[in-house]
Structure 1
């Protein structure tokens, strides 16, 4: 990295750090991200091959193909980029194994990643001085990848939404499933909805009905006017309208999508983030991943 580029980056880095430290004030514009625990992170590292195999069994595509998204977005990735993962000790502090797990996922996908030797701003400084092309950095509100060339910021919620949108479209395109339900329309779910009704991932021709649900009724109504979707109602639940594909983008283990009236044995249940409810244990086609798809997609988006 040239000296001139390094000098131009520092004022920009200051603005990024301010972005990461947005105060948790009125309306909670910056929602608190789901805080993973160290046991879950160790589980991801120990089971990443299982996650990869489960994806291949479900849609004939693996973790790399979903994260890359090249079939839809047509961009290859430069895996020669040097990536630094920076531990952050502010807010509730460093989660044990978080940075190591992020770096592990990236290296599993053949990226060139390592955890910074120092934390916080000092770690960022050392990464820049060490000619890193991309850094991954997270606090309790945001988890982002920063690409210095072009000064690009990739948010984990956006990347996770892209990955699960690709996964959803692949499920729908490779089956005769006609009803889809998206529960949770926050930062992840809202972006999933946007992806699924925009090119190149549009599923409009693949579903007979696309249902949405969120406890924020105003948000739900607004999005139902913007996209060709149907709000899931109490009458739908009473009638027991079965859903073929369910995407649970809520921060809760128990939500309307675990209602037994809308589940059947062949329901495909996709769940980013939180662990599964016991009510979905009987479903054969179930996929839950708390981190790998989002991190991998961040790596590809930052390297494309």
Structure 2
């Protein structure tokens, strides 16, 4: 999991309505609808009491992270709150308050858990399928060639989802064995041994963790990028040139919530 910095997320509590409207213009779906599309479940609006627990281990709490997660969950109708206590004390507080779902993150993992059973949703998986579903909403990926950059948890989940949706998935990761391992989970994906010429692709899902490495000279105007990664891989000039579906926390968090509920009620 890439560690966010406060400036990545400080806008979230006050911008959810506006950003969701922008997302809908790009994809034809709200973020909640994209999450349900990614999970292959009907659109729904479940209200679950949900606790967000600040965690101080490792590098510590990211300023405004818990408040941002809470705002995202409240935006889709969850009865969400941030615990007053942190770590194990926060977990105890969440259980005492009757929380049905718990969100928490440390330096390595961001996950949601159900308190009523052995159900959980990992951010890497949820983010990958959600951004794949968002790209599908924008361009209808079936039978289209889609380049997936990065074969970590996010890229692997996205590639599998797109492959299942009938896209012609092309995978690239600088670590070739990672790309091959991700391709093995797909029915038809192909692997590139060398770095691709991005101008040859009209549809790209970028799950790489490095910022600013894609310049305006690297892309063709009108290319559709679905980019979950932070920091953003495109320079500001490149981002203005393409259609960019990107948010640092919102879509993955929403999908984690629905994923937990899918398991709880399945």
Q: What TM-score does the superposition give when structure 1 sets the normalisation length?
A: 0.77
Equivalent residue of 2:170, what SS? Answer: strand
Deviating more after overlay: 214-223 vs 44-53: 44-53
Q: 1:284 and 1:219, CA in 2 relative to 1: closer, same or farther beyond 3 A?
A: closer
1:264 counterpart (198, 220, 225): 220
Q: Offset of 1:85 from its aligned partner?
A: 0.5
Question: Hey, what does 1:122 align to over in structure 2?
Answer: 89
1:219 counterpart (178, 191, 197): 178
CA contact (8 A) 1:68 1:77 kept: no
Matching of residue 231 in structure 1 with residue 231 in structure 2 = no
Q: What TM-score does the superposition give when structure 2 sets the normalisation length?
A: 0.87
Question: Hey, what does 2:151 align to over in structure 1?
Answer: 185
Matching of residue 194 in structure 1 with residue 160 in structure 2 = yes
Q: 1:264 and 1:110, CA in 2 relative to 1: closer, same or farther beyond 3 A?
A: same
Cα distance in 2 for residues equivalent to 1:291 and 1:91: 20
Question: Hey, what does 2:251 align to over in structure 1?
Answer: 293
Q: Offset of 1:92 from its aligned partner?
A: 0.6
Count of residue correspondences: 259
CA contact (8 A) 2:12 2:71 kept: no
CA contact (8 A) 1:177 1:244 kept: no
Write out aligned runs for 1:42-121 (5 A).
42-69=10-37, 72-74=40-42, 76-79=44-47, 81-121=48-88
CA displacement 1:141-194 (0-9 Å, x = unmatched): 1111111222211111111112112112222318x9933111000011011112
CA contact (8 A) 1:133 1:149 kept: yes
Question: Hey, what does 1:274 align to over in structure 2?
Answer: 230
Q: 1:161 and 1:233, CA in 2 relative to 1: closer, same or farther beyond 3 A?
A: same
CA displacement 1:211-262 (0-9 Å, x = unmatched): 211011112234445532233455963xx7521111110101245x65835x
Equivalent residue of 1:151, what SS? Answer: coil
Give structure 1 stretches of 5+ with no counterpart.
1-32
Cα distance in 2 for residues equivalent to 1:298 and 1:108: 14
CA displacement 1:20-64 (0-9 Å, x = unmatched): xxxxxxxxxxxxx21111122212233323321222111211122
Write out aligned runs for 1:113-192 (5 A).
113-173=80-140, 178-192=144-158
Cα distance in 2 for residues equivalent to 1:173 and 1:60: 11
Equivalent residue of 2:23, what SS? Answer: helix
**C-alpha RMSD of matched pairs (Å):** 2.5
CA contact (8 A) 2:45 2:76 kept: no
Cα distance in 1 for residues equivalent to 2:55 and 2:38: 32
Cα distance in 2 for residues equivalent to 1:216 and 1:161: 19
Cα distance in 2 for residues equivalent to 1:265 and 1:135: 42
